[in-house]
Structure 1
């Protein structure tokens, strides 16, 4: 693994970037924009920091780092985005917190982990837009569910209401959200049609029983069209469906359990897919019924999620649709 000459840790916020270089022990705070990037270039020249021989390490922030990522790509500066939890846990016991200290800690993490840190691939704008569409759709679906719950509760508490203004408001909002969801679904399908490389994998994924449009597109989005996870198991760990041992010495002998550190949103959507698969896929239904003889429903459902992930990665790897060859034993 390449040993970088300089390691730059960047604490990203909406308006500013705090940058720390471990090797020269210098810090600068710049605006998060083109003017700030010019100051950053001057600062690097002043301290003889060669950016082509440097690794920039920053946290995922959900969007605030994208301006700086575009700048790095335009200047061919290597960078890596790291989950904040990974950096936090690597620091051990720490006291105090501010942007300057955080930048130094991120730089320290990059310096210590240079053998394992991988340089991030160029930002895929199509994938980012897909994830934004899915995010908006998810929020509207949740809002619709909230209004439906409120409407149901009000009708339960006041069954004699005939013309209630609140009920009408709830019903109006539900209809509006249904139209928006339909509009976003059309936008998502149009997006798939306009990107052949995504369309190919999308059609492969929906050939699997239980995997619908949302699960297929979310998998494509979060795997960056199956380029950022080496295999199905690593993605299953990220989603949170792989159990790990819980034991130590002779005193702790806990059962295996999944880690709470996972992408809960993906796991939730995959739960719906697993329930559908158990209902409509004969092989998975028989598998689930056998497992439920000695396991609880949630554990069995987790096993089905893992099988669905294996199938998704398999069809993409083989570039062929899923073929159901299941034959029930006599």
Structure 2
């Protein structure tokens, strides 16, 4: 059994991560991407005054965003647990309204209370590999689409409406196609999670959340 000296609760959203260290009562917000994940781990280690092995990371199972963070933590071999949101509500009670900082604090508190008995989440290797590939593909297309958005914005500043239409129409079509492709990949990720639900939640069951 690991000796966790600090717990880090994370409230996930599409754009940001709200992180809270239980013992240090420290809060910080990060971007929800790989650079944000790296910055968060560095902050938690320094602010929490703990070694990586002494930190338990906890967050709700939120589908795409949760799996993205989980694959990163798996790669870094960090201790973490994904918890169904209903379990945290059932354990700590309901809270009115939505406050990301409070939610992160409650998740950290939940993990702290169970730090001596909680079992870490581990994704099955096959699922992890597929998830990594799909997430990498999605991120690549998101970057490509952003590039076309930027180019279109620059063109609008240079050309008047109706001038050089191919420059606009071709790139607008590319943006539309990339948007469709991104949605397809996101659905594939969700289907992968749902299709392998028994495997994905196997470790969660081991935590005692399901009878």
Name the structure 2 match of 1:100.
101
The correspondence of residues 241-252 of structure 1 with structure 2, limited to 5 A, is: none
The correspondence of residues 4-19 of structure 1 with structure 2, limited to 5 A, is: 4-19=4-19
* d(CA) in 2 for partners of 1:127, 1:15: 22
Name the structure 1 match of 2:198.
223
Name the structure 2 match of 1:122.
123
Instruction: Please state if 1:25 is matched with 2:25.
Output: yes
Q: 1:160-218 deviations in whole A, cap 9, x for unaligned?
A: xxxxxxxxxxxxxxxxxxxxxxxxxxxxxxxxxxxxxxxxxxxxxxxxxxxxxxxxx99
Kindly report the root-mean-square deviation, in angstroms, between the aligned alpha carbons of the 2 structures. 3.5
Q: Which has the higher contact order (CA 8 A, sep 6+)?
A: 2
TM-score of the superposed pair, with normalisation by structure 2? 0.59
Unmatched 5+ stretches in structure 1: 131-216, 239-330
Instruction: Please state if 1:82 is matched with 2:57.
Output: no
Name the structure 2 match of 1:56.
57
* d(CA) in 1 for partners of 2:41, 2:201: 35
Structure 1 position 66, deviation (Å):
2.2
Structure 1's 19 and 226: CA in aligned 2 closer, same or farther, altered over 3 A? closer
Q: Which secondary structure does the structure 2 equivalent of 1:43 belong to?
A: helix
Structure 1's 24 and 85: CA in aligned 2 closer, same or farther, altered over 3 A? same
* d(CA) in 2 for partners of 1:105, 1:117: 16
* d(CA) in 1 for partners of 2:95, 2:58: 20
Query: Is contact 1:57–1:80 with CA below 8 Å preserved after alignment?
Result: yes
Structure 1's 101 and 128: CA in aligned 2 closer, same or farther, altered over 3 A? farther
* d(CA) in 2 for partners of 1:99, 1:19: 9
Q: 1:1-38 deviations in whole A, cap 9, x for unaligned?
A: 54411100011111111110101111111001122123
Which is greater in Rg? 1
Q: 1:24-82 deviations in whole A, cap 9, x for unaligned?
A: 11111100112212321331343123222111011010111222212212221101000
Structure 1's 39 and 112: CA in aligned 2 closer, same or farther, altered over 3 A? same
* d(CA) in 2 for partners of 1:43, 1:66: 21
Q: Which secondary structure does the structure 2 equivalent of 1:28 belong to?
A: strand
Extract structure 1 runs of 4+ deviating beyond 4 A.
Answer: 127-130, 217-220, 225-231
Query: Is contact 1:69–1:123 with CA below 8 Å preserved after alignment?
Result: no
Name the structure 1 match of 2:184.
none
TM-score of the superposed pair, with normalisation by structure 1? 0.39
* d(CA) in 1 for partners of 2:59, 2:199: 19
* d(CA) in 1 for partners of 2:38, 2:18: 14
Name the structure 2 match of 1:68.
69
Q: 1:120-160 deviations in whole A, cap 9, x for unaligned?
A: 11354437969xxxxxxxxxxxxxxxxxxxxxxxxxxxxxx
Q: 1:72-93 deviations in whole A, cap 9, x for unaligned?
A: 1222110100000010121125
Structure 1's 218 and 46: CA in aligned 2 closer, same or farther, altered over 3 A? closer
Query: Is contact 1:220–1:226 with CA below 8 Å preserved after alignment?
Result: no
Structure 1 position 229, deviation (Å):
8.4
